[in-house]
Amino acid sequence: MKTRLTELLGIQHPIVLPGMSWISTPELVAAVSNAGGLGILASGPLSPDETRAAIQQIRTLTDKPFGIGVTLLMPGAAENAEIALQEAVPVINFSLGKGDWIVERAHAYGGKVIATVVSEKHALSAQRIGADALLVTGHEAAAHGGDVTSLVLVPSIASKVSIPVIATGGFADGRGLLAALSLGADGIAMGSRLATSAESPLHSATKQAVLERSEQDTIYSKNFDGIPARVMRTEKSIKETRKPMNFFVASWQAARVAHKVGQPIWRVMLGLLARMHQVKLLAYFGASVPMIQAATVDGNLQQGVQFIGQTQGLIDDVAPVKTIIERTVNDAHVLHQAQQALWQD
């Protein structure tokens, strides 16, 4: 299957694993890339040394293109991006920040850059600075999707930019792939679907919870980590998204997270004081980290909260990555052929 995305990245199938913290590990990244898609490493929980080691590990597991994701708002992200550039990672995916310096340096060694966007304004800005593709995240997505659904957001942005679009949020099978291509996208990202693959490190208890829940069983709220986010509906998540957050406790948690990824606390605090809006976001995000880890790593949904997309209602098995990707592409092909009959006399 060929699209502008497969041609741009040198991959076989237009399917992407986005960088999901504690899920998009070297093993899962390599599995997706080996299956013909593009795996993107989540660098959020990693220190610079851990990021370099993870990149090197991926290279022992696959000789196919892969990427790394950096959320530039977060402590340690710029340092992890620097490591990715030093290691000449084929694809860098940045979000929540200015990535012009990443674009310039990645292009110098032939790398490609994908910008994550949720609006036309940010899409056009990313194109202006030279991003090679856009990961357009709709309202249905796990974690931090936009306010507009993919059905509207994807064609709106695709019609206004000249670079490839990766549709994200609401895509988990062949029907979604074919729909995304019809909307003007050049590929899809399947975070929730690949998070429940056999190779995914997501805890088995949490995978089982995904299988048991429907598309109705999610919550979209800004009260969890400071940015509007979609999480699995559980008693814990309902409680967490309804209660006001203690800012001082959240700030302490943010400092702990900064320390974990190798950032001096004094540097983080000075930066926060200079950007008071980001103080709140980082503090709230820091407070959410232990709950995300509890659900994702430990499978504890009584104390943890799991990011999940509305595609939760479309996931009914835990299958190998290769099976998921091949099934998605084959089902899209079969459906496309069946639909052609609708225009026959």
Tell me if 11 sits within 8 A of 187, measured CB to CB: no
Give me the pLDDT at residue 228, please. Answer: 86
Give me the pLDDT at residue 39, please. Answer: 98
Say which residue, 335 or 267, is predicted with more confidence.
335
Q: What is the pTM of this model?
A: 0.90
Indicate if the pLDDT at residue 325 is higher than 70.
yes
274: pLDDT confidence band, cut at 50, 70 and 90?
very low
Tell me if 163 sits within 8 A of 173, measured CB to CB: no
CB atoms within 10 A of CB 241: 18
Give me the pLDDT at residue 288, please. Answer: 80
Give me the pLDDT at residue 244, please. Answer: 57
pLDDT in tens, 225-243: 778 899 999 999 999 876 6
In the chain, what is the greatest distance between 2 CA atoms, to the nearest angstrom?
A: 72
34: pLDDT confidence band, cut at 50, 70 and 90?
very high
**How far, in Å, CA of 260 to CA of 86, rounded?**
22
Tell me if 251 sits within 8 A of 283, measured CB to CB: yes
Tell me if 47 sits within 8 A of 34, measured CB to CB: no
Tell me if 126 sits within 8 A of 134, measured CB to CB: yes
Indicate if the pLDDT at residue 277 is higher than 60.
no
Mean pLDDT, the chain, rounded, equals 90
Average pLDDT over residues 25-36: 98
Indicate if the pLDDT at residue 284 is higher than 90.
no
**Which two three-digit tokens encode residue 156?**
């709106």
**How far, in Å, CA of 296 to CA of 212, rounded?**
16
CATH architecture of the domain formed by 4-201+315-343: Alpha-Beta Barrel (3.20)
Tell me if 44 sits within 8 A of 116, measured CB to CB: no
Domain ranges of the chain: 4-201+315-343, 204-296
Indicate if the pLDDT at residue 281 is higher than 80.
no
Residues 6+ apart with CB under 8 A from 51: 41, 43, 68, 80, 83, 84
pLDDT in tens, 91-138: 999 999 999 999 999 999 999 999 999 999 999 999 999 999 999 999
Indicate if the pLDDT at residue 272 is higher than 50.
no
Say which residue, 4 or 75, is predicted with more confidence.
4
Tell me, letter by letter, the H, E, C secondary structure of the chain.
CCCHHHHHHCCCCCEEECCCCCCCCHHHHHHHHHCCCEEEEECCCCCHHHHHHHHHHHHHHCCCCEEEEEECCCCCHHHHHHHHHHCCCCEEEEECCCCHHHHHHHHHCCCEEEEEECCHHHHHHHHHCCCCEEEEECCCCCECCCCCCHHHHHHHHHCCCCCCEEEECCCCCHHHHHHHHHCCCCEEECHHHHHCCCCCCCCHHHHHHHHHCCCCCEEEECCCCCCCEEEECCHHHHHHHHCCCCHHHHHHHHHHHHHHCCCCHHHHHHHHHHCHHHHHHHHHHHHHHHHHHHHHCCCCCCCCCCECCHHHHHCCCCCCHHHHHHHHHHHHHHHHHHHHHHHCC
Average pLDDT over residues 316-325: 98
Give me the pLDDT at residue 282, please. Answer: 61
Indicate if the pLDDT at residue 217 is higher than 70.
yes
What are the backbone angles phi and psi of residue 69, rounded to the nearest 5°? Answer: -105, 140
Pairing between β-strand 133-137 and β-strand 165-168 as defined by DSSP bridges: parallel
Strand partners, 71: 95
pLDDT in tens, 52-81: 999 999 999 999 999 999 999 888 899 999
Give me the pLDDT at residue 152, please. Answer: 98
**Which two three-digit tokens encode residue 59?**
């290279």
pLDDT in tens, 146-185: 899 999 999 999 999 999 999 999 999 999 999 999 999 9
Indicate if the pLDDT at residue 257 is higher than 70.
no
pLDDT in tens, 183-196: 999 999 999 999 99
